[in-house]
Amino acid sequence: MKRFARIIGTGSYLPSKIVTNLDLEKTLDTTDEWITARTGIKERRIVTDESTCDLALEASKNALEMAEISPSKIDLIILATTTPDKIFPATATMLQDRLGASCPAFDLQAVCAGFVFALSTAQQYIENGSFKNILVVGSETMSKIVDWNDRSTAILFADGAGAVLISSDNATGIKHSKLYSDGSFLSSLHVNNNGINDLGTIEMLGNEVFKIAVNRLSDLAEETLKDCNMTSDEITWMVPHQANIRIIKAVAKRINLPMSKVIQTLDTHGNTSAASIPLALDVGVRDGRIKKGDMLLFEGIGGGFSWGSVLVEY
Ligand code: ACO
């Protein structure tokens, strides 16, 4: 019998410190009007002393509570992050210990596409029968790799975590996933560190990233629908990576999906990289918009570049 990877719990967590566009006006040559018009972001959350693992732990607890699964029942933890707390061990193993789980755990790095890469990986383990319950987390402290004097990137990135508990189901769940990478785009969006003793900061050719993101994500959305023999009318919600409202609108337009069917959290979350999709998903689930049986399209693209989609019957 075919096994499906079904989402049975979602959770999220945001640090309490809010940094508004007006706050950024005080330290950068920018304005609330410019940031809002060009990105859709009004405010973002930034850690004070919390780690990536701290954020992941709270989001995971919330997902486990919704799923009514105890940590001892988790078979695998996959943590998508660009901002691990240490070079080793993996932040996922620290999360495993703090949750009180006793399963294998590993980090996965695909920047803002990290959550779709992690979800697609979890899907394979469920479908081949290796594991029953998998915790998939996206957690980021992007503020640690932002150059706070660079107005072209400091306005975009933010901190937060989202988590989902995936469980084996014989009727419904993930229908399709597709992943891509093209490392020739390294100079478009990367961290400029020099070896492992230097953390570095994000460097981005914003305009170029913008165009590539719109083209790749639009092509991928069309390809995903074609692979599944579906039209966009059958999508209940698109839950995209939250990078820029103009990117999201352009992709939605290309596949004829009204913005009323898009979960948008950019205005208050900013770009939380691998955390943005599970954060937006949890918001949509908890405010009642996303319901059992809904068809969800997740899409994300991340630095350097990696991009992917997951289509799931919730
Ligand atoms: N405030 C005011 N002016 C600014 C700011 C700012 N914060 N940042 C740039 N500008 C200026 C530029 O200097 C430029 O001035 P000039 O015309 O005098 O040279 C002007 O605004 C236009 O700059 P552009 O870069 O062309 O502006 P654009 O409309 O492209 O918006 C932005 C910039 C918001 C960065 C956009 O390109 C974008 O969102 N790109 C995609 C970024 C993205 O999604 N990154 C994340 C990818 S996922 C990941 O892996 C991390």
For 33-75, what is each residue's pLDDT tens digit?
Answer: 999 999 999 999 999 999 999 999 999 999 999 999 999 999 9
Ligand 1 closest atom vs CA 301: 48
User: Which pLDDT score is estimated for 65?
Assistant: 98
Domain range annotation of the chain: 4-169, 174-313
CATH code for the part of the protein at 174-313 = 3.40.47.10
The torsion angle over the Cα atoms of residues 10, 15, 16 and 19, rounded to 10 degrees, is: -120
Considering the chain, what percentage of its residues have pLDDT values greater than 90? 98
DSSP string computed for 147-180: -TT-HHHHTTB-EEEEEEEEEEESS-SEEEEEEE
Mutate to test the pocket of ligand 1, among 209, 212, 271 (most ligand atoms within 8 A of CB): 209
Q: Is 271 a catalytic residue?
A: yes
Q: Is 207 a catalytic residue?
A: no
pTM exceeds 0.95: yes
**Fold of the 4-169 domain:** Peroxisomal Thiolase; Chain A, domain 1 (3.40.47)
For the chain, how many residues are written? 314
DSSP state of 137: E
Mutate to test the pocket of ligand 1, among 19, 244, 299, 305 (most ligand atoms within 8 A of CB): 244
User: Which pLDDT score is estimated for 196?
Assistant: 86
For 261-285, what is each residue's pLDDT tens digit?
Answer: 999 999 999 999 999 999 999 999 9
Q: How far is the CA of 305 from the centre of ligand 1 (A)?
A: 18
Nearest CA to ligand 1 atom 9: 152
How far apart are alpha carbons 48 and 111 in whole angstroms? Answer: 22
Please list every protein residue whose CB sits less than 6 Å from any atom of ligand 1: 30, 34-35, 38-39, 111-112, 151-152, 155-156, 189, 204, 206-207, 209-210, 213, 243-244, 271, 273, 301-303
> Average per-residue pLDDT in the chain?
97
Q: How far is the CA of 37 from the centre of ligand 1 (A)?
A: 11
Q: Does 174-313 match 4-169 at the fold level?
A: yes
3-state secondary structure of 80: strand
Mutate to test the pocket of ligand 1, among 25, 29, 31, 38 (most ligand atoms within 8 A of CB): 38
Q: Is 103 a catalytic residue?
A: no
Locate the DSSP E strands across the chain.
4-13, 18-20, 43-45, 76-80, 105-108, 133-141, 159-169, 174-181, 189-191, 202-204, 237-240, 295-302, 306-313
